[in-house]
Structure 1
Amino acid sequence: MSLNQTLNEKVVPAVMKFVNLKGVQALKDGMLFTLPLNIVGSIFLLIACFPVKAFTDGMAGAFGPGWNDPLFKLQHSTMGIMAVVAVIGMTYVYCKNEGLEPFSPAVIALSVFLTVTNDFVMFKATPDATPIQVGGVIPQDWTGGSGMITAIIVSLVVSFVYCAMVKKNITIKMPEGVPQGVVNAFSALIPATVIFIGATVVYAVCKFGFNTSFVEIIYKVVQTPLQAASDSLPGAILIAFAVPFLWFFGIHGGMTVSGMVGALLTANTAANAKLQEAGTLDLAHGAHIVTQQFYDNFINLAGSGQTLGFTILLLVLAKSAQYKQLGRLALPANLFNINEPVLFGTPVVMNPIMGVPFILTPVVNAILLYLAIATGILAPMGGALPPWTVPAVFSGLIIGGPSYAIAQLVFLLIGMAIYFPFFKKVDAMSYADELAAQKHENSAQA
């Protein structure tokens, strides 16, 4: 059996089976509800911590030293509640995909998340003061990036239990003619009671047995190691490899990988945003290297496989009329990080020649970017999250100023160099086919 057959018959079905799991679908689609919060919140954070000292000094002089407090407030109210929104969104999507009314279980999941989280914070009036417990609050430390894995666990458990009970008719039945809203509310009562009892038991065990909360245990035991793995060089390489590898077989690599690692990368970004707000965004203070921007704006620079350099080669150097026209058609979309036209028009998908640079380019550039940040050539990325459609270089300016804009330009040139010999090969083959077709047509007319 050839390698191609092995991949098609063994690897692709296994990958598709995983991608189509209910939990993975809920994670992938449910996390999208946090996207507006991340983007808008990051814009306000960027303004509050603008990397031009003259601007921040001018604002402080005009409006006082606390001029950016309202901006931080908005950032806390968006990026700071990502776990809360995620637990609602993932439960909603899971139950909706199961054909059930999704809002009730989504609200139940939110209540469970708050139940397994402490309702107090430790407060110090001064840095040297003894901490005192302040109750009746929702700790924002756990409603943002630090609570993401707990949000995933809660949403999946609540969704599974709720759907199983409703499908087995373990609900309160209402007579015909009762409004649907009332039916939905009463249908949720028994599943909600069972789920809330379970959540209360978990809270009690963590509190009295371990003197902590469930979300803190998950953060220390599960999330911290996973974030560390995603933030390593092997983690960056694996993510950069997986996106184009899946695309090569026609599976949407960007959406699939984002669904699997998006929560971790979002948590890394949220942690960096806190350091940025505190003015300590550096590796010495625990800043993360592999963040959501690392994924969106570098691994997927100009689209999965970093195809913009290839598209420019098609437009400028192609001899084949087919590829030159493809370059004209694909470039406008590719500039805004949409590269499906070139993926399927070349095609790159299932093309063993183009598969090599398509997979190699993001891996090489991910390694270079990781090393550039690890060695201090580039500063860690903060909380600024430009929309994924912002063109390269411009998104780099938003993320980290001129240094990141230049880095994106350099990576585009590296990608163009990697693609060049493979472009020459497929262009020569297409050009030869066109000449042969033209010769055959001329012979037929003669």
Structure 2
Amino acid sequence: MNSEKKPLGDRIQEKLGPFSAKVNGNLYIQAVRDAMLAYMPFTFIASIFLIIAFFPIDAVTNFITKMLGVADASVWQNKLLYVNNATLAIGGLIVVISLSKSLAEKLNVNNTQNILTALVSFLLLTPLTETESGPMLDISRIGAQSMFLSIVVCIISVKLYKLIADKDIKIKMPASVPPAVAGPFESVIPSFIVVLFFFVIRLILEIGLKNDALSLINTVLGVPLTLLGGSLGGMIVVKLFEQFLWFFGLHGASIIAAVMDPIHQVLEDQNKVASLAGDIPGNIISMSFRNHFASIGLVGAIIAILIVAKSRQYREVGKIAFVPYLFNIGEPTLFGIPLMLNFSYIIPFLLGNTISTIVSYVAFATGIVPLPTGLAQLPWTTPIIFSGYFVTGSIRGSLLQIVLLVLVTLLWLPFVKAADKQIYESEKIADLG
């Protein structure tokens, strides 16, 4: 007796389910994701001050300068940069603190000591800058460019600390000593061994290889990842894979973010540094590109529904999903239509973001639209049109987003119209019955 063959969607979901669970359950990926999420609010905070300092309309800058009664705009602009220097400019440091905390919690080891140990280890490997007063720490070395180094150091530091702590190699205090006092003493040996380990690594790199950890990590690990994440082909693969996972009910954005966020944040920071120096940003693909241009796709389904829907089901979905999607929240659309495992929509679902990625890349590469400056690092929930203007500093950024909205809506229209017609006919039959 032949057993009934399972539908293709069920079979693919069975294959992808364990993979997704394994990726999402990986404590290192979870920790990196947690660290990037913790870092994100500070990119937004810094961007508010940077937007004011370098507002894309000269009349606004001139008005503020006149209102403050100063001779030159740089006087007040430099004051606003204080916030950037305390947030984005120390991005690697923020990631060290948040990542070591998250990883220490997941490995069940002393949080405070692991944060401090990882922080010391990171600074120990950070190259110094020669000054007249001698070698000193340069703030530019602990920004987003050091993000790869911070991730590697944190993982090694916390894992090594746990290995030593699990072997019970520590200064043992009498039972009468309060835990708050005993804890730091018990951490002396594990922290010392971790710091000694990174000190030896620095000496080997500095004396033996005439190199430093930041340069080495950024060359060996950073360059290939940046080339992959910063290329058109790489971005297309990323968006296709993300949508593919979403289609089968897996949280594609969560899986992708843990891997791609550090890469795109580094590229974003490079654009910001160039913009602050008065140069033209060099990276087409960055966090702003991914969040505010390459991710315009699913919204086309809602716009198409608002245009052509006749069925009660789709009209209700349109009402419910439209407002959340003003802030790029697509879950009501995913579950309301529904789109997941709905093979009637697999083509626009997979290709919408890809079309936006390609069109945006061409628009930036040809100079039709100025590149994202990196000065306005807005959260992904920033409404379309507003985000396009601020991240590029030009109305052409908003116009590009409008073009993308039109294109993805045209892509979705025939599919929505066909599905809506079937639902509408079913509703009429149900009403008659």
Asked whether 1:300 is paired with 2:295, we answer: yes
Q: How does 1:274-313 map to 2 (within 5 A)?
A: 274-282=273-281, 287-301=282-296, 306-313=297-304
**Aligned pairs, number:** 422
Asked whether 1:413 is paired with 2:406, we answer: yes
Partner of 1:46: 51
Asked whether 1:109 is paired with 2:118, we answer: yes
Worse-matched range after superposition: 200-209 or 231-240? 231-240
Partner of 1:385: 377
Unpaired runs of 5+ in structure 2? none
Asked whether 1:64 is paired with 2:71, we answer: yes
Q: Distance in 2 between matches of 1:308 and 1:3?
A: 26
Partner of 1:13: 18
Q: Distance in 2 between matches of 1:338 and 1:233?
A: 25
Give the Å deviation of 1:8. Answer: 2.1
Q: Distance in 2 between matches of 1:258 and 1:382?
A: 21
Asked whether 1:166 is paired with 2:173, we answer: no
Partner of 1:93: 102
**Aligned partner letter, 1:85:** I
Give the Å deviation of 1:439. Answer: 3.1
- What RMSD in Å do the two structures reach over aligned CA positions? 2.0
Give deviations 1:375-425, integer Å, cap 9, x for gaps. 111111112112222211111121122111111111111111111111122
Give the Å deviation of 1:60. Answer: 5.1
Asked whether 1:362 is paired with 2:353, we answer: yes
Give the Å deviation of 1:259. Answer: 1.2
Q: Distance in 1 between matches of 2:145 and 2:252?
A: 26
Give the Å deviation of 1:219. Answer: 1.7
Q: How does 1:98-137 map to 2 (within 5 A)?
A: 98-119=107-128, 121-122=129-130, 134-137=133-136
Worse-matched range after superposition: 342-351 or 47-56? 47-56
Q: Distance in 2 between matches of 1:211 and 1:48?
A: 40
Partner of 1:423: 416
**Aligned partner letter, 1:15:** S
Q: Distance in 1 between matches of 2:175 and 2:379?
A: 48
Give the Å deviation of 1:5. Answer: 4.8
Give deviations 1:303-340, integer Å, cap 9, x for gaps. xxx32221132234212111111111111111111111
Q: Is the CA contact (8 Å cut-off) linking 1:87 and 1:110 kept in structure 2?
A: yes
Q: Compute the TM-score of the two structures, normalised by the length of structure 2.
A: 0.91
Percent identical among aligned pairs is 29
Give deviations 1:137-164, integer Å, cap 9, x for gaps. 3222221111010011011111222233
Q: Distance in 1 between matches of 2:176 and 2:234?
A: 56
Asked whether 1:256 is paired with 2:265, we answer: no
Q: Is the CA contact (8 Å cut-off) linking 1:395 and 1:405 kept in structure 2?
A: yes
Q: Distance in 1 between matches of 2:24 and 2:105?
A: 18
Q: Is the CA contact (8 Å cut-off) linking 1:39 and 1:386 kept in structure 2?
A: yes
Partner of 1:75: 84
Partner of 2:367: 376
Q: How does 1:235-246 map to 2 (within 5 A)?
A: 235-246=234-245
Give the Å deviation of 1:228. Answer: 2.2
Q: Identify if the C-alpha distance between structure 1 residues 437 and 82 changes in structure 2 by more than 3 Å, giving closer, same or farther.
A: same
Give the Å deviation of 1:220. Answer: 2.5
Give deviations 1:195-224, integer Å, cap 9, x for gaps. 111100111011111223211211223212
Unpaired runs of 5+ in structure 1? 123-131, 441-446
Secondary structure, aligned partner of 1:299? coil
* Selected match of 1:338 from 326, 329, 341: 329
Q: Distance in 2 between matches of 1:135 and 1:372?
A: 47
Structure 1 segments of 4+ aligned residues over 6 angstroms from their partners: none
Q: Distance in 2 between matches of 1:187 and 1:89?
A: 23
Q: Is the CA contact (8 Å cut-off) linking 1:315 and 1:325 kept in structure 2?
A: no
Give the Å deviation of 1:136. Answer: 4.9
Q: Is the CA contact (8 Å cut-off) linking 1:49 and 1:276 kept in structure 2?
A: no
* Selected match of 2:29 from 24, 27, 30: 24
Q: Distance in 1 between matches of 2:230 and 2:111?
A: 34
Q: Distance in 1 between matches of 2:171 and 2:51?
A: 50
Q: Is the CA contact (8 Å cut-off) linking 1:250 and 1:349 kept in structure 2?
A: yes
Q: Is the CA contact (8 Å cut-off) linking 2:294 and 2:360 kept in structure 1?
A: no
Partner of 1:444: none
